Amino acid sequence: MTDYKKMSVYQIYPKSFQDSNGDGIGDINGIISRLPYIAELGVEYIWLTPIYISPGNDNGYDIADYYNIDPVYGTTDDFKNLLHETHKRGLKVMMDIVVNHTSTEHIWFKESSKSEDNPYRNFYIWKKNEGKLPNNWVSKFGGPVWTLDERTDSYYLHLYDVTQADLNWEYEPMRQEIYKMMRHWLDLGIDGFRLDVINLLSKDQNFPYDTLNTFTDDGRKYYTDGPKIHDYLKEMNKEVFSRYNNVITVGEMSSTSLEACIEYTKPESKELSMIFSFHHLKTDYKNKDKWELQKPDIMELKEYFTKWQNGMEKESGWSALFWCNHDQPRIVSRMGNETEYRYESAAMLATLLHMMQGTPYIYQGEEIGMLNAHFDKITDYEDVESLNAYKNMINAGKSEEEALKILRERSRDNSRTPVQWDNTENSGFSTGKPWIKMGKMADRINVEEDLKNEKSVFSYYKKLINMRKEYDIIRDGNFTILDADSEDTFIYTRETEREVLYVICNLTDKTLEIDKKITDSAAGGKCLITNTDIPCEKGMLKPYETSVWLLKK
């Protein structure tokens, strides 16, 4: 049985992972060819972002057919082969599933939109046209959440893109169809689900207007962690997860709270194994707006980790630990140093996160320190959210140069450039033209280079992953921050009755002096990992230095 509290997960965005047939798009057979590499890293699970049939308006998160693999990625037989090859190597597979909405190309929506008495009408959320929008909620991608369908003169709800219609979770026949579909994939042999924006399923059925006073008064309070969400997840667990052995589930939580996430994940709730929360990745959002830049607020970051680490541990909740995914910029570009200290900052940021309580998720390319895309033209971008944001920024009076600068830091395409495998053409990703431009410094930052070098980001991640399996204190220890007032360092302990783990991180490119009491205490133990030759030398931290020390009591 896999102990998800000691394991690590590797996230694959198939479109950008490895192309096997030269069409410029990553595919299932490409993933199979790279399984030995993933196994070498030491993770237990791989998570695949959606590979179902989809028009691709939101890169697969707009599902048109829950039961079939999109031909661009391969066939069901290819997928069965992937499961076989993965399991053969002792790895397990987690599929991404989107059950808040479907594509408007889905047969359910096509039927639902035909007439008001269609059997599928109640699978979605419809409001009769009364001459104005049903309310003033704002879509996650900008604009209203309602679109008029003239066939029945009714509006349908879409919290995301206009082509992503929200399912009506109030309607039990729809819920049962979802559970049946999920059981289909578990019967095929998958080992878990990552559940996209799962805390948005339950909407306030009065659909009230919001104030729009601030950026977050956009309707989200009426559908986030909604009134029946725990009922739905308990039902999903009973109808699906509990019927299979050892299924791991992780729920992506949008604009959530600690209290809700404890409830989702504490064992007695019987809902989810763990959650993704994003608060720590919003500390560089000026005025909580993704499209307004500021440096990461380190004090806010520390407050978040302290609150969530202590809160989840105290109430037996469980979190996913992550810096990167297919929606986030690359962490070295965001909080580290892209040039002189790329290795040091990548290792430090990984240490800071991996020594906390939770299950680490490593996003493809993170383990070699890949960087943001640094595209310089709007035509380089593919992401629907980025293209919409660019239009909105231009309409709001920003110059093209200002808007592009923001996209270079914030666009989801920063993490969607193909994995850099070697320094051949297209970095070994494809023999054809990649679906999106290649990223920055692919000739120097690639898997082949990292595997050659003993001192590499890859080898550092591998050590961190193995440490979690070896030392129970990483799973069980309570969390105490030691430098709450410092914006330059992040130093904390994990502690059990018998041991103390010191985690020391320099967040800057400066040499820093640290509290002698901390270095004296840490130096009394064994150094488990560091990114420098002599850690904490003379009570000083070199730029982006990190080290972890284990002391027996």
Q: Catalytic site residues? A: 196, 252
Tokens of 440: 């920055």
The values of phi and psi at residue 89, to 5°, are: -95, 10
What does DSSP assign to residue 326? T
The string over 165-189, giving b where at least 16 C-beta atoms fall within 10 Å of a residue's C-beta and e elsewhere, is bbbbbebeebbebbbebbeebbeee
**End-to-end Cα spacing for the chain:** 31
Distance CA 461, CA 17 (A): 19
Residue type, 520: D
Residue type, 262: I
Contacts of 9 (CB under 8 A, 6+ apart): 43, 44, 45, 46, 47, 94, 320, 359, 360, 361, 362
What does DSSP assign to residue 297? -
Query: Is the distance from CB of 191 to CB of 93 less than 8 angstroms?
Result: yes
Tokens of 194: 């990552």
Beta bridge partners of 491: 504
For helices 172-188 and 229-239, angle between their N-to-C axes, nearest 10 degrees: 40
The alpha carbon of residue 453 and the mean position of all alpha carbons in its chain are separated, in whole angstroms, by: 28
Distance CA 349, CA 354 (A): 9
The alpha carbon of residue 220 and the mean position of all alpha carbons in its chain are separated, in whole angstroms, by: 20
Using only the alpha carbons of the chain, give its radius of gyration.
23
Helix, strand or coil, per DSSP, at residue 374: coil
Query: Pairing between strand 52-53 and 65-69?
Result: antiparallel
